[in-house]
């Protein structure tokens, strides 16, 4: 069977890496970086390199349409016609009874631009509601709002090449080494070539990014505005401003200067909890650099004052003229592959297509004319943004929600309320590539969608570069491309709402939809009316703007000092520093910080199907400083209950000096697919930024208390169908005070749980469903007096599964040995009964793997270090850091800074 290889674009973060997809017999078999793509030049991260494993039909994909006949009934498989007809009928019924604003769509930054455009057109041009928002609201809207307020238009002014040209790089609220590792590789290479380049990292935690910085400003959570104001105060005092630039190209500086009188470096440093000399040094480096750029992400955006934080940082650039030149500019790092493209087509509740404004009658008229609809159909009232949308669903004001390619039952703040809202809705339509997410369980209608590698279109990355996404294989089962689904529903809905009228959805190919959208951008700040699929084929990925008559796009904006405001001048803003939306108190004394891990993605609907991606962090945890743990008599691995005003969460403790005292860190990824909890967002609050409507997902005030659950359980199982078994085990998780599931290898599931002996009943039911009942191939040891239950399943002389439940710490050494033997998949030596009393060296069930590409553990690295091995020696002998490079920051930290690692 011949293999084929096509060019496409990665579906994870906003870097927009070009990839080469190799397929055979309708199945993607490998993915590698495209050496010709200007975003990554062949580099890939650990997640991207494992994309092939996420597309298989046996990896939990949604394969057939399904519906519930009643809210409480089980989903039943239906035909596509039944599902599409029911979707259109249900929406039309609610629109007729309650009006168009009783319907809402919640879509995703992982949709392709053409799909996004059609959903936007359906909501605003067909239904007549602006109630279409996106999960990009949760990550990018504060950056968008600040760009528009300060520079006049939504878009980073620079490009990736600036990473190599900057003399000073300020990274704020971004753990680039984890969240945007390919761009971080470019930064590392640039610093190696130009060692005098200064890195400043602003982050409460000492992340791998912060550990590599020349200066780490470990500010108190939420104090970014005070920091940037204090830095600008110093720049003014030291005369490090570009007065010519300020006078010629900006306005409102005097008002900001007056505000900054109060923000002396000493006062700002005190607010931030850092040394005054460090604040002054950061300002000096930034102000004196020939070229300075800033890179920022969720640490600034996911805040109730996220817009202010962005504006305060942009002020630094405008005051020093560090914008519009190579190596300069405020650069917002996009979290999702097509958050930028979604904004371009107006796929949010607060904007129209091509960056037009809903409140502008002229803008509405242009869009109505282009779509050939009466302008009255376009609502002049902004729609409900993400938090408002689910609040309205909870209150019954919105009756129906169509959720596409996203998982709000895991990702939204205040998850208890969100779950109640989905349960209360009259109609929940979920369109997803994966069948068993936290959100699909609420679906009245489930529409199985094509995934990455199975559909055609475009995406726009963080540097405004548009790349083609190409289908390498057909979707599995009955899954269909998102564009096909929305068009089929839209045409049915047109017949019900406007019978006899011409369709608005006549464009039947992605190229035709793209051309329709491109025409709408003509004359706008994002003008790419000169772009087409043909040009992308011949010239490769292109940045916008790219108006008609040009063959290539513009790398940098505002190079002439003319901004996209009415008078061409950039605007300074003078926000006041404000504390986090929720302050710590005696009752809730800890700052909770959430964030990403290196090898997982969002709620793990995709990445959680790849065993290798669990090797770096195999289970959820709460990181806390050893001093905080000692004061509470907590040790590594102890279980604690985290409580906020909204919910509770039980997690094991991981001690780390990287987390400052008074703070705890919880990764965002684990939800009820892998634990018995909806995830960290059961604790977070729904307070939003007044301008951007982005919620404060990064911070909450919590308390923490030890949980005594002496009865611990480990279940390890070699199974032919990971997905089915994971779902079965997942259904059992809810019975335990703590439980976490992970993939220990490509065919082994590992479940860890804790509770009281009273939970043994649900364990008995679980063992029966797992075929671990006593028999010739299942050995049993049970001590009812001590509460010990041990079962080991065999196939010949090999272990295929085990259950180990005990309150005795001494039993866990034995359990580790048996699990390790199962994972090794080799013959058991000696009598089977010896499995209950193994001896010898105790291996770790899951070692911390620094390098998942080569499966190199931290223990192996440190062993070589004791022999005097250098970093190059370790890389050569173990291969770590030589494939994707995602592990290089941690590897360097261990080898070069052993006293800090």
Coil, helix or strand for 688?
strand
DSSP 769-825: HTT-SSBTTEEEEEETTTTEEEEEEEETTEEEEEEEEES-TTHHHHHHHHHHHHHHT
Q: Would you kindly state where each structural domain of the chain is located, as residue ranges?
A: 66-139+338-458+467-502, 142-332, 590-706, 711-836, 849-896
- Report the alpha-carbon distance of residue 777 to residue 796 in Å, rounded: 8
pLDDT at 1: 60
Q: Whole-prediction pTM value?
A: 0.96
- Nearest-10 Cα torsion for 341, 343, 349, 353: -90
pLDDT at 845: 58
Single out the residue of 601, 623, 627 nearest to residue 614, CA to CA: 601
pLDDT at 307: 98
pLDDT at 850: 94
- Bridge-based pairing state of the strands 590-595 and 699-706: antiparallel
Coil, helix or strand for 581?
coil
pLDDT at 735: 78
Backbone angles phi, psi at 743, to 5 degrees: -95, 115
pLDDT at 840: 60
Q: What is the CATH number of domain 590-706?
A: 2.40.40.20
- Nearest-10 Cα torsion for 551, 555, 560, 565: 100
Q: Which fold has domain 66-139+338-458+467-502?
A: Rossmann fold (3.40.50)
Radius of gyration of the chain (CA): 27
- Residue spans of the chain under pLDDT 50: none
Single out the residue of 431, 428, 449, 448 nearest to residue 91, CA to CA: 428
Single out the residue of 199, 815, 121, 160 nearest to residue 512, CA to CA: 121
> What are 576's two structure tokens?
């006041």
Cβ-contact 339, 136 below 8 angstroms: yes
- Report the alpha-carbon distance of residue 21 to residue 500 in Å, rounded: 44
> What are 70's two structure tokens?
């009643």
Indicate left, alpha or beta for 96 from its phi (over 0: left) and psi (-120 to 50: alpha): alpha
- Report the alpha-carbon distance of residue 90 to residue 801 in Å, rounded: 46
- Bridge-based pairing state of the strands 542-543 and 465-469: antiparallel
pLDDT tens column, 736-795? 889 999 988 888 999 999 988 776 777 887 888 788 888 899 999 998 888 899 999 999
Q: Do domains 66-139+338-458+467-502 and 142-332 have the same CATH topology?
A: no
- Nearest-10 Cα torsion for 764, 765, 766, 769: 130
pLDDT at 55: 82
Coil, helix or strand for 129?
coil
> What are 459's two structure tokens?
């995406």
**CATH top-level class for 142-332?**
alpha beta
Adjacent-strand bridge partners of 643: 648, 703
pLDDT at 899: 60
- Bridge-based pairing state of the strands 427-432 and 445-448: parallel
pLDDT at 839: 66
pLDDT at 719: 84
> What are 455's two structure tokens?
């559909």
Backbone angles phi, psi at 791, to 5 degrees: -140, 140
> What are 77's two structure tokens?
């498989």
Cβ-contact 358, 375 below 8 angstroms: no
- Report the alpha-carbon distance of residue 159 to residue 327 in Å, rounded: 9
Answer yes or no: CATH 1.10.940.10 is held by domain 849-896.
no
Backbone angles phi, psi at 132, to 5 degrees: -130, 115
């Amino acid at each position: 069977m011949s293999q084929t290889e096509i060019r496409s674009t990665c579906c994870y973060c906003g870097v927009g890496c070009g990839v080469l997809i190799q397929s055979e017999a309708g199945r993607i078999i490998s993915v590698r970086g495209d050496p010709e793509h200007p975003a990554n030049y062949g580099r890939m991260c650990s997640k991207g390199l494992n994309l092939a494993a996420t597309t298989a039909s046996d990896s939990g994909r949604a394969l057939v349409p399904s519906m519930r006949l009643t809210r409480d009934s089980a989903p039943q498989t239906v035909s596509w016609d039944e599902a599409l007809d029911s979707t259109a009928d249900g929406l039309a019924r609610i629109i007729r009874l309650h009006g168009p604003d009783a319907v809402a769509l919640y879509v995703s930054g992982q949709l392709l631009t053409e799909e996004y455009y059609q959903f936007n057109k359906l909501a605003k041009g067909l239904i007549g509601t602006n109630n279409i928002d996106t999960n990009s609201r949760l990550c990018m809207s504060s950056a968008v709002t600040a760009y528009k307020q300060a520079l006049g238009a939504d878009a980073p002014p620079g490009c990736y090449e600036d990473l190599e040209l900057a003399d000073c790089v300020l990274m704020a609220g971004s753990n680039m080494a984890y969240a945007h590792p390919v761009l971080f590789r470019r930064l590392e290479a640039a610093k190696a070539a130009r060692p005098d380049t200064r890195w400043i990292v602003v982050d409460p935690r000492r992340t791998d990014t912060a550990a590599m910085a020349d200066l780490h400003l470990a500010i108190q959570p939420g104090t970014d505005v005070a920091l940037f104001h204090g830095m600008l105060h110093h720049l003014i005092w030291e005369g490090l401003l570009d007065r010519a630039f300020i006078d010629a190209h900006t306005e409102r500086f005097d008002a900001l200067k007056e505000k900054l009188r109060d923000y002396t470096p000493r006062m700002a440093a005190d607010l931030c909890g850092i040394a005054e000399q460090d604040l002054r040094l950061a300002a000096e480096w930034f102000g004196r650099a020939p070229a300075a750029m800033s890179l920022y992400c969720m640490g600034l955006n996911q805040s109730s004052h996220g817009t202010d934080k962005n504006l305060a940082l942009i002020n630094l650039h405008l005051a020093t003229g560090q914008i519009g030149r190579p190596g300069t500019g405020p650069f917002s790092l996009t979290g999702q592959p097509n958050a930028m493209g979604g904004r371009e087509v107006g796929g949010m509740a607060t904007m129209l297509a091509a960056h037009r404004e809903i409140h502008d009658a002229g803008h509405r008229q242009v869009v109505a004319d282009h779509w050939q609809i009466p302008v009255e159909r376009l609502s002049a009232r902004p729609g409900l943004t993400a938090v408002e949308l689910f609040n309205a669903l909870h209150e019954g004001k919105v009756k129906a929600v169509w959720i596409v390619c996203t998982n709000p039952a895991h990702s939204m703040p205040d998850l208890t309320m969100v779950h109640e809202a989905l349960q209360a809705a009259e109609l929940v339509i979920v369109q997803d590539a994966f069948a068993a997410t936290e959100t699909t369980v609420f679906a009245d209608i489930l529409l199985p969608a094509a995934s990455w590698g199975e559909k055609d279109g475009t995406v726009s990355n963080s540097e405004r570069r548009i790349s083609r996404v190409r289908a390498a294989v057909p979707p599995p089962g009955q899954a269909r491309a998102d564009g096909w689904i929305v068009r089929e529903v839209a045409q049915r809905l047109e017949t019900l709402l406007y019978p006899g009228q011409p369709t608005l959805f006549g464009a039947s190919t992605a190229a035709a939809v793209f051309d329709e959208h491109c025409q709408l951008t003509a004359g706008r700040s994002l003008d790419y009316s000169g772009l087409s699929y043909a040009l992308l084929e011949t010239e490769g990925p292109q940045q916008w703007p790219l108006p008609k008559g040009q063959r290539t796009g513009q790398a940098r904006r505002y190079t002439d000092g003319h901004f996209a405001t009415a008078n061409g001048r950039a605007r300074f803003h003078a926000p006041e520093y404000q504390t986090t939306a929720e302050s710590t108190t005696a009752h809730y004394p800890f700052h909770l910080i959430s964030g990403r891990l290196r090898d997982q993605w969002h709620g793990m609907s995709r990445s959680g199907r790849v065993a290798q991606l669990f090797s770096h962090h195999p289970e959820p945890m709460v990181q806390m400083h050893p001093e905080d743990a000692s004061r509470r008599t907590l040790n590594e691995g102890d279980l604690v209950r985290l409580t906020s005003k909204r919910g509770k969460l039980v997690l094991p403790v991981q001690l780390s000096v990287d987390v400052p005292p008074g703070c705890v860190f919880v990764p965002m990824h684990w939800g009820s697919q892998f634990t018995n909890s909806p995830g960290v967002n059961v604790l977070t609050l729904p307070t939003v930024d007044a301008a951007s409507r982005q919620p404060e997902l990064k911070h909450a005030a919590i308390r923490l208390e030890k949980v005594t659950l002496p009865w611990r359980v480990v279940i390890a199982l070699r199974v032919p169908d990971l997905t089915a078994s994971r779902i079965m085990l997942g259904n059992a998780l809810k019975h335990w005070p703590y439980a976490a599931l992970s993939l220990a290898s490509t065919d082994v599931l590992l479940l860890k749980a804790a509770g009281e002996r009273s939970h043994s009943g649900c364990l008995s039911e679980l063992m029966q469903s797992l075929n671990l009942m006593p028999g010739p191939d299942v050995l049993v040891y049970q001590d009812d007096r001590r509460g010990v239950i041990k079962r080991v399943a065999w196939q010949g002389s090999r272990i295929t599964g085990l259950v180990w439940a005990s309150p005795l710490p001494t039993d866990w050494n034995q359990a580790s040995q048996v699990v390790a033997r199962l994972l090794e998949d080799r013959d058991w030596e000696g009598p089977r009964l010896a499995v209950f009393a193994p001896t010898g060296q105790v291996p770790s069930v899951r070692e911390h793997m620094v390098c998942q590409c080569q499966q190199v553990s931290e223990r192996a690295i440190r062993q070589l270090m004791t022999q005097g091995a250098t970093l190059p020696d370790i890389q050569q002998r173990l291969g770590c850091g030589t494939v994707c490079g995602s592990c290089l920051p941690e590897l360097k930290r261990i080898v070069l800074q052993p006293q800090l690692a």
